[in-house]
Amino acid sequence: MEIRLVSPLSLAFAAAAYIVWRLFRIFLRHHTSSLQYLRGPKPRSWLLGNLAEIYDSQEWVEQYGDTLRFGGILNTDALLTIDTKALNHILNNTASYRRPSLARSGISDFMGKESLISVSNDDSLNVSPQSPAFGPAQVREFTEIFLLKSIELARLWGLKCTEPGPVCVDVVDGLSKMTLDVIGLAGASETPTSLGFVHGKPNELNQAFDTVFRSGTGGASPFKLLKLFFPPLGCLPVSGTKEVRNAYRTMRKIGERLIDEKRETTSRVRGWQEDHRQRDLLTLLIKANTDPSIPESERLTDEEILAREFLVAGHETTSNVTAWALYSLSIEQHVQMRLREECLTIPTDYPTMDDLNDLPYLDSVVRETLRLHPPLNSSMWEATKTDIIPLNKPYIDVYGRPHDYVQVDKDCLVQIPILAVNRSKAIWGEDALEFRPERWDRVPQAAQKVPGTWSNMMTFLGGPRACIGYRFSLTERVQHTLIFTLIRTFEFELAVPKDDVVRQNASIQRPVLRSALDKGSQLPMFIRHI
């Protein structure tokens, strides 16, 4: 049988035809959009529209109202809204809205397209909280692990405080290593070394995680945005690409080894409770996935299992939220003092769940941190069909006419600006931009209409699309445990001017220094041992 190779000219023609077809579809959508009469920012680029400044949506809302239009690729019209009625409609209509292809590509690009993340149109990253992997006993065990690692982090920082006076530490670095240790213990019963490698060499997985997460500190560059729409651009030899790909391969290799080992172990152990050593998240996910009651079509692939393990362990969420909490507490010293006084009423470094539940101000500090500094800036969705979105507050079109609904076309992008919702003065009052835990003593009436899954905020989204990580991080007081330990042990003060600390202009809100953007995420602080 004769095998004919495709000529380079044919491949080039096919690639050109594909690009022309994509561009034509985008051009057609732009000139027939049902959003063309909404107000919104003028596009900054004929190629990327407003995508490069999408993380500045708070300013857009203040200027154009709660519901507005912005430009996507080639200025294709897209919708952005903080209207609570619209948000409720979008998040609860799973058949009408899905994760867009560019968002799925973006998540895969960030976490490792080949290794850890597999996001499908039916939001397959969501795992039922009723799964044995998320039962009260299992999640509580994870909380105990967080407590132990928090105490270890405090001990290591304390070793630096050998001389009188403050000592400077990078809290982002320490918190990131601590939560990587938790992934090892809670996620797969692996022996953690992240915190310990200050005395030695980091292991292979630590280095891979560090490479992947630090690769995202460059923000939303035009090339990154274009790559979301045209994935083949990812093959270009751009600086840093090879290093990140090697890190992905390392993570996949180690992940596959862990799954094989856990699968072999679980085949020898029957029942959920027969061996307390087999209660880590990865083992529980594998057991749940082999349950005879689950249809074959609904079972997870190995990549999806690993995605859940690493995401639920909350590396980025936990470390970033705690870093921002310490940042806010270092600025509002009176809040830090009041919180410390409350935490010191517990006479032990090993609080029970009941102890943590008896600390209302700590709970308010956690809530206020998650409101003011959500880990994710925004969440993007795509309409699967033409839809009518009802509005609580009518928008005014370019001709001055009010509308109490907005129509979106099939394939239209819909942006939910989590940060803008959480910081909206219309929802939270004129002091919405201030760190004020006392606001949780009496939540504003407007905030009670926010369709969030937790505490009247959009931090973890809402409805069927709610992020499962909130249960791991908050329901069992994981976040509270970490802040409790650190604030009892140290006084915190910023080691740089507060205006030098800014949010990284990217999807995940990491703290960076305006004066050292090239050095990635960091937050230097002075600590004093109490």
Give the residue numbers of the binding site for heme. 467
Tell me whether residue 396 is exposed, middle or buried, using C-beta atoms within 10 angstroms of its C-beta: 0 to 12, 13 to 18, 19 or more: middle
Residue 454, classed as helix, strand or coil, is strand
Largest interatomic CA distance in the chain: 82
In b/e form, how buried is each residue of 48-81, taking b as 16+ CB within 10 angstroms?
A: bbbbbbbbebbebbeebbbbbbbbbbbbbbbbbb
Structure tokens at 418: 């989590």
What does the alpha-carbon distance between residue 421 and residue 38 come to, in Å, rounded to a whole number? 19
Amino acid code (one letter) for 157: W
Residues marked as binding? 467
With residue 71 as reference, give the H or E element that holds it. Answer: strand 67-71
**Radius of gyration of the chain, Cα coordinates, nearest whole angstrom:** 24
| CA distances for 126 relative to 111, 440, 467, angstroms | 16, 29, 7
What is the DSSP track for 460-504?
A: T--GGG--THHIIIIIT-HHHHHHHHHHHHEEEEESS-GGGEEE-
Residues whose CB falls within 8 Å of the CB of residue 1, separated by 6 or more in sequence, listed in order: none
Structure tokens at 232: 């083949």
What does the alpha-carbon distance between residue 227 and residue 109 come to, in Å, rounded to a whole number? 9
Residue 527, classed as helix, strand or coil, is strand
Residues whose CB falls within 8 Å of the CB of residue 271, separated by 6 or more in sequence, listed in order: none
Amino acid code (one letter) for 98: R
